[in-house]
Amino acid sequence: MAYSDEDINWAHDRADGHCFYCGIRLSFKNYGIVGAHAAWEIDHFIPLSRGGPDQPYNWVPACVDCNTRKSDLFPWEFDPLRFEEDDRDPDNYV
């Protein structure tokens, strides 16, 4: 999936340059360069495969490690401690 520079900037700034999940500082210039230091990708908060839209409001920045491990999980399946039971309805996010 190809994103514009504007999209990449938007996603990066959304979590102030940190991975949305583990919080490490990302290397902006290493966007999409798997294996590079602090490389990152645009994660679909609600996975595309589970009904999430490919729209900016569903994008968060994630380091490659988190994005790979999250894969097609809902965020509360990936990081259950962060989401209260009441916050686990995908319809609240899309």
What does the binding site for Zn ion look like in residue numbers (CB under 5 A)? 19, 21-22, 63, 66
Nearer to Zn ion, 20 or 46 (CB): 20
Nearest distance, CB of residue 10 and Zn ion, angstroms: 18
Nearer to Zn ion, 11 or 19 (CB): 19
Nearest distance, CB of residue 82 and Zn ion, angstroms: 13
Nearer to Zn ion, 21 or 59 (CB): 21
4: left (phi over 0), alpha (psi -120 to 50) or beta: beta
